[in-house]
Amino acid sequence: MPRFDKTWTLFLDRDGVINVEKKGGYVLSPEEFCFEPGALQALRLLQQVFGHILVVTNQRCVGKGLLTTQQLDDLHRWMCREIEKQGGRIDRIYYCPDVEDESPCRKPQMGMALQARRDFPDIVFHRAVMVGNHFSDMLFGKTLGMYTVFVHPEEVSLSMPHPLVDACYPDLLAWAEHLQQVL
């Protein structure tokens, strides 16, 4: 594992990493938003390590007309306030509203990462980590040369080494606590 420090950027998927993923549906309001167990504590720990913490999330719900961009922005502002109340931070959230899998901004395509680098020119992708709970997140990270962390409680027995996954943990908190022990 690399020695992470403030020169590194942390990219996080949202659903299934920060909040509980709504299987077969979408989180459309703060009332439906439930933080993953330990996620708030993890974000407090991770903000001490990484220079930038960015969320990259596919949000088809906007493209499907279930949520407006304003409603999604409001949900994200609420989420960030809750994270900040617990001592964590998210520096910016990037989302792809498109429905089409081929959209250049939709993970695993690189559009959101390229936008992040335009906004934060000091981002170097080989000094970045992608944490996600889907292999599309891992492919997104690997395509850009990032270190990848797969968080998924049912996949902790994932056969390693894996071509897309550098590390596997049951959740974000388990990885953040491991970092605290080794850094």
Structural domain count, the chain: 1
Catalytic option among 5, 13, 119, 122: 13
Which residue range forms the structural domain that includes residue 24? 9-182
Residue 2 falls inside a structural domain? no
What's the CATH number where 136 sits? 3.40.50.1000
Q: How far is it, in rounded angstroms, from Cα 19 to Cα 142?
A: 23
- Bridge partners (DSSP) of residue 130 are 11, 148
- The reported pLDDT for the residue numbered 156 is 58
Low-confidence ranges of the chain (pLDDT < 70): 155-157
Residue 80 falls inside a structural domain? yes
Residue 102 falls inside a structural domain? yes
State pTM to two decimals: 0.96
User: Is 13 among the catalytic positions?
Assistant: yes
Catalytic option among 15, 137, 166, 171: 15
Average pLDDT, the chain: 95
